[in-house]
């Protein structure tokens, strides 16, 4: 299940975020990659343990906490704090799969990576190329979104970032462990939740069918959730 979440960041928030990133010291992106990924990774990142990395990561986490579409789609239990990467002209990230388990820095905890997210920071007219490419059993999906928009997709997907041919592509990326392990179950819950929201808008929260579907939603979540 791949979901496009528009408008995670406003124009004002994007401008402030870019200004802070321009002040940052960018490091080799291979510093945070596993063995296979490092061999095909060519980009730059803000060091996650830097003061700037922690500041901007906290900012994005706060925005995610108040985004209803992200929380409906992902049902997050724990997140790896967001990282920030940069692909200048000629840079790319070859086909790879993300680690199944990742540490949460400074906590001694690890998470199972169920859902990946990429939040686009650069405007589309600032670069060419740089698509996020997801490889499925029968087709490729190429994703290039407006600044402030985000894509979420199962971490199980083989994926890459195509070469940037002009300009510079900046983004934030991170992983979540969901309360619901099964991708199929998450998809069912997401569809049901979106239908409930639409019916609630039309008939109100006290409507009998809205209440009945809400009860079904929570009983399914209760049955499938792992805490």
Helix pair angle (51-65, 11-22), 10° resolution: 160
Listed in sequence order, the DSSP H helices in 87-207 are: 183-203
Q: Is 98 annotated as a binding residue?
A: yes
CB 8 within 8 A of CB 148: yes
Q: Is 128 annotated as a binding residue?
A: no
Q: Is 4 annotated as a binding residue?
A: no
CA-wise closest residue to 186 among 137, 227, 150, 224: 224
CB 71 within 8 A of CB 56: no
Q: Is 144 annotated as a binding residue?
A: no
CA-wise closest residue to 98 among 54, 42, 182, 35: 35
CB 5 within 8 A of CB 115: no
Q: How far, rounded to the nearest angstrom, does the alpha carbon of residue 121 sit from its chain's CA centroid?
A: 12
Binding residues for Fe cation: 96, 98, 159
Annotated binding site: 96, 98, 159, 169
Positions at the binding site for 2-oxoglutarate: 169
């Amino acid at each position: 299940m791949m979901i496009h979440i528009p408008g995670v960041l406003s124009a004002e928030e994007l401008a402030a975020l870019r200004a802070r990133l321009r002040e940052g010291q960018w490091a080799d992106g291979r510093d945070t990659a596993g063995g296979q990924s490092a061999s095909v990774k060519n980009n730059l990142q803000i060091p996650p343990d830097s003061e700037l990395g922690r500041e901007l990561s906290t900012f994005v986490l706060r925005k995610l906490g108040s985004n209803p579409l992200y929380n409906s789609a992902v049902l997050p239990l724990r997140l790896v704090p967001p990282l920030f990467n940069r692909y200048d002209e000629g840079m790319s990230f070859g086909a790879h799969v993300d680690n199944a388990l990742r540490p949460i820095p400074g906590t001694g905890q690890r998470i199972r990576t169920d859902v990946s997210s990429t939040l686009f920071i650069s405007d589309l007219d600032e670069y060419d190329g740089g698509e996020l490419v997801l490889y499925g059993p029968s087709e490729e999906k190429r994703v290039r979104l407006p600044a402030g928009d985000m894509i979420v997709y199962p971490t199980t997907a083989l994926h890459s970032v195509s070469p940037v041919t002009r300009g510079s592509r900046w983004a934030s990326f991170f992983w979540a462990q969901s309360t619901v392990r099964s991708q199929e179950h998450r998809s069912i819950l997401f569809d049901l939740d979106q239908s409930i929201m639409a019916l609630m808008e039309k008939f109100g929260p006290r409507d009998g069918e809205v209440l009945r579907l809400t009860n079904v939603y929570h009983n399914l979540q209760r049955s499938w959730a792992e805490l």
